[in-house]
Structure 1
Amino acid sequence: MTSPATVDEEAVLAEIGGALRAVLDDLEFEDVPITRETRFVEDLDLESIDLVSLTSELRARYGDQVDFPAWFASLELSEIIGLTVGQLADYIVGRLR
């Protein structure tokens, strides 16, 4: 788990990329760059079950300090559909600081 003193946005982006690759486990996405602008639904075709798997992966890395279910519940459907890796990284960094 990451300590607050070492929270770094680039490291969080890398963690999300690793978690995405673990969830997708698909050679089609092996060489796809994961950037702040990458959209979960539109670019990666993630479905709701994939988002649940992703949040489980990230919870294992960040613990209870990052409450993904509550955050997702606070978003409108259109916000979830347009959600980017950068927005998720910002949320994680904000919760860890």
Structure 2
Amino acid sequence: MASDTTDSAARTAGTAGILAEITGMLVEIVGDEFLLAEEVTMKTTFNADLALESIEFVALAELLHQRYGREVDLMGFLAEKDMEEILAMSVGELVEHIGRVTHAALSRPRPETVTAAAAPATAAPVTATAPVTATAPVTAAAPTPVPKPTPPPKPAPKPAPAAPTPAKAG
């Protein structure tokens, strides 16, 4: 029972943190002068309360991707909803979605964790290798000019016929 209380408290802290992050993203997208008049809560709707336009949803999707990685796909999340659900969607629905997705991502074992657990106890510890450094940029060499073929040699001129030599008298 104590773990249920701990899980609930962690979810509440996580929810409040996600709500604060989304509020910060919305301030970045629409400007704080607009959001000062409207406190963002779990019940705040994107359409009726915030009047978020489609381009602003795209900007929000980009910020969510930068913050949470590919695990949080706003456009994929919206694609699962019909138009009425999108228009009525609250910030709380997005917060809960992010909480579910990130919690699921955190609860999956990492590949290196599985590998380390499967390794025998006598194996040497896994150490990180040196970072890969870039080498000098590869540039394309200038093409080697192809020599033009030389024409075949011209045949030598035929010698002129020899003139008859006068016969010597004798």
TM over 0.5: yes
C-alpha spacing 1:69/1:28, structure 2 compared with 1 (3 Å): closer
Point out the structure with the larger helix share: 1
Runs (5+) with no aligned partner, structure 1? none
C-alpha spacing 1:94/1:38, structure 2 compared with 1 (3 Å): same
> What pairs with 1:61-76 in structure 2 (closer than 5 Å)?
61-76=67-82
Larger Rg: 2
Decide whether the 8 Å contact of 1:21 with 1:30 is kept in 2: no
Q: Distance in 2 between matches of 1:44 and 1:68?
A: 17
TM-score after normalising by structure 1: 0.87
Count of residues in correspondence between the two structures: 93
Q: Distance in 1 between matches of 2:64 and 2:73?
A: 10
Secondary structure of the residue aligned to 1:42 is coil
Runs of 4+ in 1 over 6 A off after TM superposition: none
The one-letter code sitting in structure 1 at the alignment partner of 2:93 is Q
The answer to which structure, 1 or 2, has the higher relative contact order (CA under 8 A, 6+ apart) is: 1
TM-score after normalising by structure 2: 0.51
* RMSD after superposition: 1.8
Over the matched positions of the two proteins, sequence identity in percent amounts to 34
Secondary structure of the residue aligned to 1:8 is helix
Runs (5+) with no aligned partner, structure 2? 1-9, 104-170
